[in-house]
Chain A
Amino acid sequence: MSTQVANNSLGRRALQKLLRQKLTVICFVVIIIYLSIALLGALNLLPDFQARVGESYEPPSLSIAKIFGTDIFGRSVLFKLLAGTKTAISIGFLVTSIAVPIGITLGSLAGYYGGKIDGFVVWLFSVIVSVPYLLMVIAISYVLGKGMLSMCIAMGSIGWVGLCRLIRAEFLKHKEREYVLAARLLGANDYNLIFKQILPNVLHLAIITASLQVLGAIKSEVILTYLGVGVQDGSSWGSMISDATGELVNGHWWPLAGVVITMFFIIYALNVVGDALRDALDPKLVD
C-alpha cells in the first residue's frame, strides 16, 4: 500500500476506482446528459413538443427537429422524446426517494431488533410480494387516482421490498460481528450501533439498489403507461410506444425507433454504473 493513497477515505478510493474504467465514465456522462435534459424540462427550457414542425408522418431528415421525423400531428418526435425524458427521470427519482428510505428503515429495524418487529416486517413484505408487481401497482394507483404522482407512490410503496430484505439480511449478519460486540461492550447504545457501526457497512447496498431502482421505475413507467395507467398528460415514452403499435403497421417506424434508442442509452448507462458501483463500494473488493 503506497502512502499516497493512505490518507484517502474509502469513498474517495471508490470514486478513483470507478473513474479508472472508461466505459463507466462514458456512462456517467450519458446519465448526466439525461439529467440535464430533465432539469431543462423542469425549468421549461425544452422546445415545445406540442408545436407543429412539419407535415404528418414526415420520415427522419437532417434538421434537428425532424431527426426522428414527425408524428401524426406533425409534431417533432425528438421534442416529444426530450419531454418524455423529463417524465421518465422524475419518475425514476421520485420512486427511488420513496422506496429507499422505507427499505433502509424497515430493514435496519427488522434485522437489528428481530423478534416481533422482524416478524411484522417480514409479514408485510411477504404479503406485498405475493401479489404480482404490475397488478399491485395498477391496483394502488387506481385507488389513489390516475396520474404520475399516484403511480410513483404505488411503485415506491412496493419497491422498498428488495432493499429491505437485503438490508435486513446484512443487519442479521453484522450485528453478531465482533466489531459490533466490541462497540456494545464499550457502552454503545442501539442508536449508535445501528447508525454509526452497522449502517455505514451496508449502505453501499442501498446506493447500488437505488441506481437499479431508478432503472426499474423508468421501465415500469413505460409498461404502465402503455397499459393505460400512469402518465395522462405530457409526453412519456410509454405513451409513444403505445401509439407506435398502430403506426408501425402503416410503415411509420421512426417514432418507435426514437423511443427505443433513447431508452437504450439511459438503461444501459444505469446498468453499467450500477454494476461499477457494486464493484467499487464492496469493502471486500476495495484493495
Chain B
Amino acid sequence: MSKVLLEAQDLSKHFPIRAGILKREVGRVHAVNHVNFELFEGETLGVVGESGCGKSTLGRTLVRLYEPTTGTIHFDGKDLTQADKFDLKKMRRDIQMIFQDPYASLNPRMSVGKILEEPLALHDIGTPKERQERVQQLLDRVGLPQDAIWRYPHEFSGGQRQRIGIARAIALNPKIIICDEAVSALDVSIQAQVLNLLVELQKELGLTYIFISHDLAVVRYISDRVAVMYLGEIVEMASSEDLYATPRHPYTQALLSALPVPDPTKRGTTKILAGDVPSPSNPPPGCAFHTRCPHKTDACMQDNPALKAFTNSSQHFVACHHAETLNQDN
C-alpha cells in the first residue's frame, strides 16, 4: 500500500443550536461524529450516504471551512486542526475542493480569466504574464476554448462551468482534491465527460481524490475505496469491489439493494428500510442505525459499535456488532 497522505482521527463537527434571547445553546446537530479514516496517496476515496448524513460537512471540515469540534487531521506530518493562519494558507495549496453547484461556485462578476488567475494572485505566483500563460494552459487542460478568458460564467453551460471549477481547483497543483457532489448537478451524459476528465487529471497530475456523492453508481465507477456514512458516522469502509460485491453492514446492504439493476429477472429484491433517519440533533444511543435495523439486539441499543476490520480481511472495515454472524450465510 502506498503512503498515507491524510489521516483523520476522531473527527467530529457539531453545530450548536441556539435559542432564546440569550442565544443559549440548547442542543447540537451531530453532523459528523467521531470519524476515523486514512487517505492513501493516489487513490480515490468515495464517500456515500443519503442527504443530511454529513458527507459535505465532513469534506468542509477536512479543509477547515468548518472548525472541527474534536479530533485531528494529519496531513504531511502536520496537524491541520492546529494550523495557524500562515500554515493554513500554505496548506490551501495542497488541498482543494470542487463544489456541487456549478452555478453558485463561480463568482458571476468575474471573468473566467480572473477566476482562474485569482488562486495564483492570492499566492503571489509568477508575473502577470506567466499567470496569463498558466490560465491558458489550465483552460486547455480542462477542454475549454481560449476565448473563455474574456467571458463570464453565465455564458457557459453547467458542464463547462464545472470544468472551470476543476481548472480553478488544479491551478495551484494540489495533492488532494475533495469533490463535493461534483457531478450531481449535471446531466448524465455530461457527468460521464466530467468524470473522465477527473480520472485523466488524476493519472496525469498524481492527484488524490475524496469523492463525495449520493450516487452509488458514480462512486463505484470512480473510487478505489468507498466509505459509507450514516448519521455522521462511517459505518462501512472497504475497497470498491469488496463493498459492492459483499456489503457487510445492514445499512449498506439496504442501500445497495436499492440500486436499479438492468435485469428484469432480479426485480423485487430491494430491502426497504422501515422508518426515517433519526434527527442528527438527537441521535439515538448505541448504534446509530439500530432504530431501523432488522437485526438489532439489546447490545445495539446500548453500545455504539466501533469501525473495525471484518474477520479475516484487513481492508474491509465495518461498524456493526453482528457483522460476523449476520454475514455467515452470504
Contacts and interface: CB of A to CB of B under 8 A. Distances in A.
Contacts, number: 67
Nearest to A287: B154
B96 A197 contact: no
- Size category of the B interface is 20 to 34
Given A10-B152, A201-B108, A192 B122 contact: yes
Say what secondary structure dominates the interface of chain A: helix
Contacts of A6: 147, 150-151, 155
A197 B107 contact: yes
A232 B154 CA distance: 53
Interface string A183-208: 11111100010000100110000000
Say what secondary structure dominates the interface of chain B: loop
Contacts of B104: 177-179
B118 A181 contact: no
B122 A201 contact: no
A178 B99 contact: yes
Given A6-B155, A183-B118, A201 B105 contact: no
Contact of B122 (A178, A188, A283, A286): A188
B168 A186 contact: yes
A1 B147 CA distance: 14
A183 B107 contact: yes
Contacts of B165: 182
A130 interface: no
Contacts of B65: 181, 184-185
Contacts of A250: none
B122 A179 contact: no
27 contacts: A1-B155, A6-B147, A6-B150, A6-B155, A9-B111, A10-B152, A178-B99, A178-B101, A179-B104, A179-B107, A181-B60, A181-B65, A181-B105, A182-B97, A183-B107, A185-B96, A185-B97, A186-B96, A186-B119, A186-B122, A187-B93, A187-B119, A200-B107, A200-B110, A201-B108, A201-B109, A283-B154
Interface of A: 1, 6-7, 9-10, 177-179, 181-188, 192, 197, 200-201, 283, 286
